[in-house]
Amino acid sequence: MHRNFFILLLALLAAGCATPQPPPETNSFRTAQLFPAEALVTQRGVLTVHGRQFTLNGYVAKSETRGLRLIVTETFGGVLADVLVKPGGETFVLKASPPFRPAWVKNYIAADLKCIFEDGAETDCPLQMLSDTHFVIERRGYKLDLRTVEMQAGLQPAAMFDETHGGKR
């Protein structure tokens, strides 16, 4: 009897105590609160598309009254995408360079931008918030693993939100 109890005790100790972990947050109801109403946010990310990985940098100018402006660059600084989202949701693709097409920038990059920075303005927002600075967006065909590396609060220049400088709807 004592031998069976000892074996059972060893088995329980070896198995450990399984405490359920809460799943990562899967919506953006808190994310906009992480960023000041007026700010310049620097992010680094890894975009995985069909098994290929691309390292990207993103610079988001955020204005409570003017909207969001995202410039996506490659590692060496070349601009791959430049998109402006007005407070009403109107989107302007100011630049799209390979591997990004203008439609992809408008439909996916802008959606991901709204998903993180506009508290659920994007209704189809597959966001996992792993921490206050680490986000993962996984959509059909791609995964974006994004980390905020710097945040500078303060008013952003009005020119950053001017869609007339080469923007297309």
Rounded distance, CA 72 to CA 60, Å?
9
pLDDT tens profile 85-129: 999 889 999 999 998 999 999 999 999 999 999 865 556 788 999
Cα dist. 59→100, 116, 146, 148 in Å? 17, 13, 12, 10
Assigned CATH topology for domain 37-154: outer membrane lipoprotein receptor (LolB), chain A (2.50.20)
66: number of CA atoms within 13 Å, CB side? 18
Picking from 96, 103, 52, 61, the residue whose alpha carbon sits closest to that of residue 78 is 96
Q: Kindly tell me if the per-residue pLDDT of 37 is higher than 60.
A: yes
Q: Kindly tell me if the per-residue pLDDT of 4 is higher than 50.
A: no
pTM, rounded to two decimals? 0.78
For the chain, give the mean pLDDT. Answer: 82
The whole-angstrom distance between residue 126's C-alpha and the CA centroid of its chain comes to 10
Pull the structure tokens for residue 45.
């990310």
Q: State what percent of residues in the chain have pLDDT above 90.
A: 66
85-108 as b/e, with b when 16 or more CB fall inside 10 Å? beeeeebbbbbbeeebeeebbbeb
Pull the structure tokens for residue 127.
């966001």
Q: To the nearest 5 percent, what fractions of the chain are helix, strand and coil?
A: 20, 40, 35
